[in-house]
Amino acid sequence: MSANRNLLENRTVLATLKSRWYPGILQIITAAVFVIIVYQLVAGPASAHKNLGTALTWVLWWPIIPIIFVVFGRFWCAICPFGTLSDLVQKFVGNQRPVPAFLRKYGIWIIDALFILITWSDHVWGIVENPWGSGVLMLMLTTGVVVSGAFWQRRAWCRYLCFLGGLSGNYARAGMLQLRANTDICATCKSRAACFNGNENGPGCPMFEFPRQMDTNARCTLCAACVKTCPYGAITLSWRPPTKELWFIRNPKFEEAFLAAVIMGIVFVQNITMLEVWQPILGGLQSLTGTDSYAVNFTITFLIAMAIPIGMLMLAAGIARRLNKDSMVSNFAKFGYAIIPLDIAGHIAHNLFHLLAEGKAVVYTAMEAAGQQVEAGSTSLVSMPVIQLLQYGLIALGALASLYVIFRIAKNHYGQAGRAMTWATAAPYAALIAVFGVINIVLFVLPMAMRM
């Protein structure tokens, strides 16, 4: 299979994407499941290990979602029930106002803050382990979606506010499926940007993207709106090597690099707090701070865990700038994206434990929700050694991918100055990835607690 082959040349694929049922039929399915999940979370069993909503959300969906991002980019966002809700609200009561300038300018920072806040809330209030906590989170997000859809155009929530959208945007950059426009055809386009503005065949891009100039997967949800509206068949869909987009980011943004570093910190936190070693750490913090308030001590841990990857990336950027004479912020922004493959690997590896060690919980809780009696049994799908082996493999793969991305970024930006400059610039970041990789491996060596 050629990497650049346009999948839309396949009549079945094209017909599917052009169908008026795509992605609507999938949206209906996910929305129906979402209703069941929210009902279960809010009105179902109060115990997490009996709650179907908890199992479907945190044991099945959350571990699988980063894998979907890697393979299909932000496809999930096209069928996300929140997006569907936003569309419905917009259709019936939407005021279709332009997205405020501050949101367009600082949206990614808001996403960063929301992501950190939700992670913090999870640990302090036990959102994941408490079905009702998860339900309240879902309802709060629903409220945000309703507000956004009621007042602003298109999918303002998905692009500028959704914390998962920020995460998926970053991960999708490493994705393997890309939608682009054939710029040669676009150069002769007389449809007045139908892909952006919409026409009788459908609405314009819900994510405010202009396919002709789109060079990233970060905001494309593969909703195929542009496939439907383009009268010239200029849209292409093709496979590409994973992480390829990270090699050639033309306009690197500090806030996106920052998010990549934050995600690494969150992976650290998620792992550390599920380890047995967490108790001694907590005890040490208690004696240090003089308080046994969990919120206070966890917040300190959380801030340190966030600061480690950010600080180390800044350190690497500081070293590299002495060599390549570029600014520190520029270095940070350019090479921060290189952490993304390791982020994804750490995220999947962490959740692989929950998926494989607790996977049967989905079946058990579903049976119980259906009124059947369930015999107690193991929830694991495979043995712990197998899971750990997979985790080590994933971390190694992620680290290698990150190292290669570093090399390509260095070559892309500083290659003209010679190979020595490329390698010298890449060296501090390579050391950074090595440290992150080792920390992750150490964390996965230690036994972990379960979610359910």
Partner 1 sequence: MYHRHLPVDRWSGSRLFRQSESQARFRRLLASFVIALGLLAFSLAASPGEGRFSAFESKVALADGGHSQGGLPDLRTPTPLNAHEPEQTDAQHDMGMEGTEGTHDTSVDSSPESHEATGQDAHAPQASSPQNDAEMSEEHALSSSDEADTAREQATGDGGTAEDHESAGSDNHEAESATPNDPEDTGSEGMSGRDDHGNTAPDDHGAAGTEGSGSDSHGAEAEGPSDLARNLTLGGFAAINGSVLVTAAILKKKSPRKGRNRAAVHGTGPAHEAIKTAAAAPITLSVEPAPVVAPVVAPVLTPFTEPIDIADASATEGEDVA
CB 141 within 8 A of CB 133: no
For residue 66, give every residue at least 6 positions away whose Cβ sits within 8 Å of its Cβ, in sequence order, or none: 171, 344, 347, 348, 351
Q: How far is the CB of 101 from partner 1 (least distance, A)?
A: 7
Residue in 1, 2, 12, 371 binding partner 1, rule: CB under 8 A: 371
Tell me how far apart the alpha carbons of residues 354 and 315 are, in angstroms, rounded to a whole number: 34
- Candidate residues 77, 167, 361, 406; the one interacting with partner 1 per rule CB under 8 A: 361
CB of 12 to partner 1, least distance (A): 27
By CB under 8 A, residue 380 contacts partner 1:
yes
* Footprint on residues 321-360 left by partner 1 (CB under 8 A): 357-358
- Which of 82, 87, 93, 236 minimizes the C-alpha distance to 168? 82
> Would you count residue 431 as binding partner 1 (CB under 8 A)?
no
**Got the DSSP string for 154-214?**
TTHIIIII-HHHHHHHHHHTT-SEEEEE-HHHHTT--SSSHHHHEETTEE--TT---GGG-
CA 258 to CA 309: how far, in whole Å? Answer: 9
Give the interface segment with partner 1, choosing from 22-30, 36-44, 257-265, 413-421 (CB under 8 A): 36-44
* CB contact at 8 A, 350 and 360: no
86 makes contact with partner 1 (CB under 8 A):
no
- Under the binding rule (CB under 8 A), the answer on residue 49 touching partner 1 is yes
Based on the shown chain and the rule CB under 8 A, indicate whether residue 241 belongs to the binding site for partner 1: no
- C-alpha–C-alpha distance, residues 197 and 210, integer Å: 9
Please pick, from the candidates 212, 228, 350, 413, the single residue that binds partner 1 as defined by CB under 8 A: 212
- 337, HSE (Cβ side, Cα atoms, 13 Å): 31
Nearest in space to 281 (alpha carbons), one of 293, 290, 271, 272: 272
Distance CA 145, CA 360 (A): 32
Q: Is 418 in the site for partner 1 (CB under 8 A)?
A: no
Contact between 313 and 302 (Cβ < 8 Å): no
Q: Which is nearer to partner 1, 80 or 357 (CB)?
A: 357
* 95 lies in the binding site for partner 1 (CB under 8 A): yes
Minimum distance of partner 1 from residue 295's CB (angstroms): 7
Q: Is 245 in the site for partner 1 (CB under 8 A)?
A: no
Give the one residue of 20, 101, 287, 290 binding partner 1; rule: CB under 8 A. 101
- The residues in 163-192 that bind partner 1, with binding defined as CB under 8 A, are 183, 186-187, 189, 192
**Please, which of residues 288-307 interact with partner 1 by CB under 8 A?**
291-295
**Per rule CB under 8 A, count of chain residues that contact partner 1:** 96
Query: Taking contact as CB under 8 A, which single stretch among the options 205-213, 299-307, 331-339, 423-431 is the one that binds partner 1?
Result: 205-213
With contacts defined by CB under 8 A, name the span among 171-179, 235-243, 269-277, 325-333 that binds partner 1. 269-277
Query: Exactly one of 12, 290, 375, 416 binds partner 1 (CB under 8 A); which one?
Result: 375
- Residue 98 within binding range of partner 1, rule CB under 8 A: yes
- The radius of gyration of the chain's CA atoms, rounded to the nearest angstrom, is 23
Note whether 398 and 390 are within 8 A (CB): no
| Least distance in angstroms from the C-beta of 118 to partner 1 | 15
